[in-house]
Structure 1
Amino acid sequence: MSLFGVVVAGRLVQTDFSKLEPNKFLLVIPEPDKVSHITVFMTGIEPFPEGLAASVYFNFPDATGCGVWHYLGYISNEKPSAIFKISKTNKSAADGHAFFGMNNNSLVVAQIGICVENLADIRFQDSGSNQKIQPIDTFTEFTQKMLESFYNYATSFAVPAPGGEMCFPVKTLESWFNNFQRKLSSNPNFWRQST
Structure 2
Amino acid sequence: MQEWITNTMNSLGHLGIGLLMFLENLFPPIPSELIMPLAGYVSTQPNSKIQFFGAIAAGVIGTMLGALPWYYVGKLVGEENLKRLANKYGRWIGLSSKDIDKADNWFDKHGDKAVFFCRLVPGVRTLISLPAGISGMPLLPFLLYSTLGTTLWVSLLTYAGYALGENYELVEKYLGPVSKIVFVVLIVAFVLWLLRKRQKNKGKKQV
Identify whether the pair has TM-score above 0.5, normalized to the shorter chain: no
Which is strand-richer, 1 or 2?
Answer: 1
TM-score by length of 2: 0.23
- TM-score normalised by the chain length of structure 1: 0.24
Structure exhibiting the larger radius of gyration computed from Cα positions: 1
Which structure has more RCO (C-alpha within 8 Å, separation ≥ 6)? 2
Which has the larger share of helix? 2
